[in-house]
Amino acid sequence: MIETIFFEEQISNHPTTERIRKALPRSTWVPIERYQELFNKRHQNFKLQKKNPALILAKKHENFVLPVPSGFGMDSHKNFYFSHMYNCLYDCKYCFLQGLYSSANFVLFVNYEDFFHSISEKIAEYKGKSLTFFSGYDCDSLAFDKLSGFADHALTFFETFPNVELELRTKSIAINSLLQRKPLDNCIVAFSLSPSEIAKSMDSKAPNINRRINAIKQLAETGWKIGLRFDPLIYTSNWKNLYSSLFEEILNGLNPSMLHSISYGPLRFPKKMYKKAASLHPEQKLFAFPMEETKGIVSYGKKIETEMHDFLKSELNKYTSENKIFQCTI
Amino acid sequence: MSEFKDPKNFAKTQFNFCWVIALRAEAIPIIEAFKMKILDNQSLFPIYANETTGHALIISGIGSIKSAAAATFLKNYLQIKNYTAWINLGIAGFSRDPIGDIYQAVKVVSKESGAVFFPGLRLSKLLPAETLVTVSKPESKYNEPVLYDMEAAGFCELVPSFSCNELTYVIKIVSDTANSSSTLITKNLVRDLIEKQLSKISAVLGQIEILVQEEKRRLSLPDEVEDFEKNFRFTETSKHQFREIYRKWKIMFPTKRLDPSEFLNSQPKDIILQLEKEILINAENWNAL
């Protein structure tokens, strides 16, 4: 349970705030003026905070929808992302959020309606073009859903725009809000996955891979389109076997018509984020590998990246057509 | 005692908890509970410590500025490390009875400057959380549903930079309310209020110590590194590079030890290159799990 909830006074009567208040009556509720006064404070310790994060309920005022950076890897005319939340319930060792934010507290922007208004404007601006909106860039789309109720709002909204795609990216198995409704043809539930051994070592607090695969199969069987995201790819001594087995485990038995897309991307960090993540986990083997730095980006280097790319592409081609496979390079 | 007074002798001492407390009457129960002895009562602020229990304490006097100044003084005097927890403990006014209740301040507001702080990791299972307002004159009206003190804002302004915000704690015990005037506060009452909460304070320290130990593991430099560095002329930059490469090397070769005799007549850059080379050779079959 979340013990402490900081809430901006301006949204204290917002329906989402009231719903969360009813769900968490025993938590300590502390009023604040703006979420930044807490979230952006200096001298916060992300790692310690992660042990008992607080929830911050806030109102987002601008930049509801942003274009995804080039290299994101999907082939819509235009891709956008939005973040109704900052930070994640899980504690994955490779996660860039630990390098991005100084705080591990969860920020939930309760004014979902303003996100949808902004998305409507983008849809109108690019009328007739194929658009995809990604949720789950700065958070996990579903992990917090039981409390936030966001997925249900988003699906109700996107139901009215059948030509526009919504991707919910997640590691969560909290899929009840999806199973309880008719599948949306324009919604892709995209699961982030790593081989079981890697996830066991690095995806702290996240559901294990078997449970994620079960959730995928359950969703696919009920008609939801599935995205598979192998990002970041982790290099380790027997990585080829690990990834081959994982592909086999997921893709054998998954109805190909329910597979929307597969994407993969190498482990990469902006230099500053890498340094911060490594300093938070100095004992982690992930941060002991002799990474290379090119133009401010820390990675395994071209040789390993190419080897991983070539192998993955040829392995994945065994299961699905090339036009469903994308490489993410950011 | 005289040997203990030389601040140089504290460089290797590991204090896990530093207390910053305004009044002697508030400090005595803590000094006694953790068997602290006075180190220096000739200095600006009286300092107490016990190396064995890992506690140090400074009596700051009343006021925000004094609290910040005393914390800084203690940090410098005892060369406190960056994994130490800092605790501002004391009495406070409150809008609600009864006196004697103990709270963790999770939001601290300076009435004077309007600055807001959010110290500590929440310890809600042990202590109820409250908002605290630091005032420059004693509060007698208790209009807002908050705690009132005279130090915490100054403490919170500075202390998170010593270790981090999650190791900075403000704990207050209610001494006066609208129904129990601050004029009734005596030294004995203060001592009594704090003594009655010592078991709860001990439980809180148990939780904080877990965080301290985790930070200590993360930040401490192995003796092997310090011993090794003494044998070579590292500049600040090369020392930083060496330590970073050593971290990776040690993860890759956990059972190996750095032996200075293997690097006789080597320059720091040669040592760094050698470690990098060993890491690279091992990387091809690297098990990241």
The DSSP-derived string for A92-139 is ETT-THHHH-S--SEEEE--HHHHHHHHHHHHHHTTTS-EEEEE-SSS
pLDDT tens digit string along B212-233? 999 999 998 899 999 999 999 9
With a pLDDT cut of 90, the percent of chain A lying above it is 94
pLDDT tens digit string along A266-299? 999 999 999 999 999 999 999 999 999 999 999 9
pLDDT band, residue A303 (cuts 50/70/90)? very high
Interfacial A residues in 277-306 facing B (CB < 8 Å): 278, 280, 282-290
pLDDT band, residue B106 (cuts 50/70/90)? very high
pLDDT band, residue B4 (cuts 50/70/90)? low
Amino acid at B183: T
- What does the alpha-carbon distance between residue A325 and residue A61 come to, in Å, rounded to a whole number? 36
CB atoms within 10 A of CB A108: 25
- Helix/strand/coil for A3: coil
CATH no., domain A61-96+111-327: 3.80.30.30
Alpha-helical (H) ranges within B45-135 are 64-78
Q: Where are the domains of chain A?
A: 61-96+111-327
- What does the alpha-carbon distance between residue A259 and residue B143 come to, in Å, rounded to a whole number? 61
Mean pLDDT for chain A overall: 95
Two structure tokens written together for A181: 């409704």
- Is residue B93 within 8 Å of B133, Cβ to Cβ? no
Mean pLDDT for chain B overall: 94
Q: B127 Cβ partners below 8 Å, 6+ apart?
A: B102, B103, B104, B171, B200, B204
As a whole number, mean pLDDT of residues B146-158 equals 98
As a whole number, mean pLDDT of residues A247-254 equals 94
- Reply yes or no on whether the pLDDT at B239 is more than 60: yes
Domain spanning B2-219: which superfamily?
Nucleoside phosphorylase domain (3.40.50.1580)
Alpha-helical (H) ranges within chain B are 2-5, 24-33, 64-78, 152-158, 187-195, 198-219, 223-229, 236-252, 268-283
Q: A107 Cβ partners below 8 Å, 6+ apart?
A: A35, A39, A56, A58, A85, A86, A87
The ipTM estimated for the assembled molecules is 0.93
Two structure tokens written together for B63: 């006021």
Choose the weakest-confidence range: A148-152, A198-202, A325-329, B198-202: A325-329
Contact call for B247 and A43, based on CB within 8 A: no
Q: Which residues of B touch A201 (CB under 8 A)?
A: 288-289
The whole-number pLDDT of residue A258 equals 96
- Reply yes or no on whether the pLDDT at B3 is more than 50: no
pLDDT band, residue B5 (cuts 50/70/90)? low
Residues forming beta bridges with residue A264, ordered by sequence position = A230, A327
- Reply yes or no on whether the pLDDT at A13 is more than 70: yes
pLDDT band, residue B8 (cuts 50/70/90)? low
The whole-number pLDDT of residue A228 equals 98
- Report the run of H or E that residue A41 belongs to, with start and end: none
pLDDT band, residue B1 (cuts 50/70/90)? very low
Distance of CA A64 to the CA centre of its chain: 16
- Reply yes or no on whether the pLDDT at B193 is more than 60: yes
Which residues of chain B approach chain A closer than 8 Å at the C-beta? 106-107, 116-118, 121-122, 124-125, 128-129, 131, 160-161, 164-167, 211, 214-215, 217-218, 247-248, 251-252, 276, 279-280, 283, 285-289
Choose the weakest-confidence range: A253-262, B9-18, B194-203: B9-18
Two structure tokens written together for B83: 């994994």
The whole-number pLDDT of residue B13 equals 82
- Reply yes or no on whether the pLDDT at B252 is more than 50: yes
As a whole number, mean pLDDT of residues B256-269 equals 93
As a whole number, mean pLDDT of residues B112-123 equals 96
The dihedral sign for the CA sequence B224, B230, B162, A275? negative
- Is residue A190 within 8 Å of A172, Cβ to Cβ? no
The whole-number pLDDT of residue B44 equals 86
Two structure tokens written together for A111: 């004014």
Q: A234 Cβ partners below 8 Å, 6+ apart?
A: A94, A194, A198, A202, A267, A286, B288
Would you tell me the crossing angle of helices B24-33 and B187-195 to the nearest 10 degrees?
A: 40
- Is residue A109 within 8 Å of A85, Cβ to Cβ? yes
- What does the alpha-carbon distance between residue B139 and residue B195 come to, in Å, rounded to a whole number? 24
Interface mutation target, options B83, B106, B118, chain A, most CBs of A under 10 Å = B118
* Closest chain B residue to A304, measured at CA: B284
- Reply yes or no on whether the pLDDT at B2 is more than 60: no
As a whole number, mean pLDDT of residues A19-23 equals 97
Q: Beta strand B85-94 with A66-67: parallel, antiparallel or unpaired? A: unpaired
Of B118, B124, B131, the CB nearest to A3: B124
pLDDT tens digit string along A175-233? 999 999 999 999 999 999 999 999 999 999 999 999 999 999 999 999 999 999 999 99
What does the buried/exposed string (b/e) look like for A273-310 if buried means 16 or more CB atoms within 10 Å of the residue's CB?
bbebbbbbbbebbbbbbbbeeeeeebbbbeebbeebbe
The whole-number pLDDT of residue A74 equals 66
- What does the alpha-carbon distance between residue B97 and residue A85 come to, in Å, rounded to a whole number? 38
Which candidate, A165, A175, A264, A265, places its Cα nearest to that of A220? A175
Four-point Cα dihedral B189, B195, B200, B206, nearest 10? 140
Two structure tokens written together for B231: 């044998």
CATH code 3.40.50.1580 region(s) in chain B: 2-219
- Is residue B60 within 8 Å of B67, Cβ to Cβ? yes
- What does the alpha-carbon distance between residue A219 and residue A221 come to, in Å, rounded to a whole number? 5
The whole-number pLDDT of residue A75 equals 61
